[in-house]
Amino acid sequence: MKAARSYDVVVAGGGIVGAACALACAQAGLSVALVERDVFGGGATAAGMGHIVVLDDSEAQFSLTRRSQQLWQTLSAALPPGAEYEAPGTLWVAADDDEMAEAARKHVYLRDREVPSRVLSSEELAAIEPNLRPGLAGALLVMQDVVVYPPAVALHLAQQAQSLGATLLTGHGVTHLADGEARLDDGTTLLAPKLVNATGADAPFCTPGLPLKKRKGHLAITDRYPGFLHHQLVELGYLKSAHSLTSDSVAFNVQPRRTGQVLIGSSRQYGNEDPAVDQSLLTAMLQRATLYMPSIGALNVLRVWTGFRAATPDKLPLIGPCPEDPRLYLATGHEGLGITTSLATAKLVADQLLHRTPAIPVEPYLPGRKQAAHD
Residues that bind ligand FAD (CB under 6 A): 12-18, 35-38, 42-45, 47-51, 173-174, 198-202, 205-206, 217, 219, 265-266, 307-309, 332, 334, 336-340
Q: How far is the CB of 294 from ligand FAD (least distance, A)?
A: 23
Q: Pick the closer one to ligand FAD by CB: 37 or 213.
A: 37
Q: Pick the closer one to ligand FAD by CB: 100 or 215.
A: 215
Q: How far is the CB of 120 from ligand FAD (least distance, A)?
A: 22
Helix (H, G, I), strand (E, B) or coil at 231: coil
β partners of residue 263: 221, 255
Q: How far is the CB of 57 from ligand FAD (least distance, A)?
A: 13
Given phi > 0 = left and psi -120 to 50 = alpha, else beta, which region is 82? alpha
Q: Pick the closer one to ligand FAD by CB: 104 or 284.
A: 284
Helix (H, G, I), strand (E, B) or coil at 202: helix
Q: Pick the closer one to ligand FAD by CB: 56 or 124.
A: 56
Q: Pick the closer one to ligand FAD by CB: 117 or 332.
A: 332
Residue 367 sits at the vertex; the CA angle it makes with 363 and 371, to the nearest 5 degrees, is 90
Q: How far is the CB of 156 from ligand FAD (least distance, A)?
A: 14
Q: How far is the CB of 371 from ligand FAD (least distance, A)?
A: 18
CB-based contact 222:264 (threshold 8 Å) = yes
Q: How far is the CB of 187 from ligand FAD (least distance, A)?
A: 14
Helix (H, G, I), strand (E, B) or coil at 77: coil
β partners of residue 262: 256
Long-range contacts of the stretch 68-73 (C-beta < 8 A, 24+): 68/340, 68/341, 68/342, 68/343, 68/344, 68/345, 69/144, 69/145, 69/146, 69/340, 71/343, 71/344, 71/347, 72/146, 72/148, 72/340, 72/343, 73/144, 73/146
Q: Pick the closer one to ligand FAD by CB: 117 or 341.
A: 341
β partners of residue 256: 262
Closest-CA residue to 199 (of 6, 8, 2, 17): 17
> What H or E segment, with its residue span, contains residue 99?
helix 97-112
CA distances from 10 to 151, 153, 344, 366 (A): 21, 20, 19, 19
Q: Pick the closer one to ligand FAD by CB: 125 or 318.
A: 318
Q: Pick the closer one to ligand FAD by CB: 100 or 229.
A: 229
d(CA 14, CA 155): 8
Q: How far is the CB of 18 from ligand FAD (least distance, A)?
A: 5
Q: Pick the closer one to ligand FAD by CB: 117 or 266.
A: 266
Bond into 266 cis (ω within 30)? yes
Q: How far is the CB of 148 from ligand FAD (least distance, A)?
A: 9
Q: How far is the CB of 1 from ligand FAD (least distance, A)?
A: 20
Q: Pick the closer one to ligand FAD by CB: 120 or 201.
A: 201
Burial class of residue 68 in the structure, from the number of CB atoms within 10 Å of its CB (0-12 exposed, 13-18 middle, 19+ buried) = buried
Q: How far is the CB of 123 from ligand FAD (least distance, A)?
A: 29
Given phi > 0 = left and psi -120 to 50 = alpha, else beta, which region is 366? beta
Burial class of residue 52 in the structure, from the number of CB atoms within 10 Å of its CB (0-12 exposed, 13-18 middle, 19+ buried) = buried
Closest-CA residue to 216 (of 337, 308, 278, 332): 308
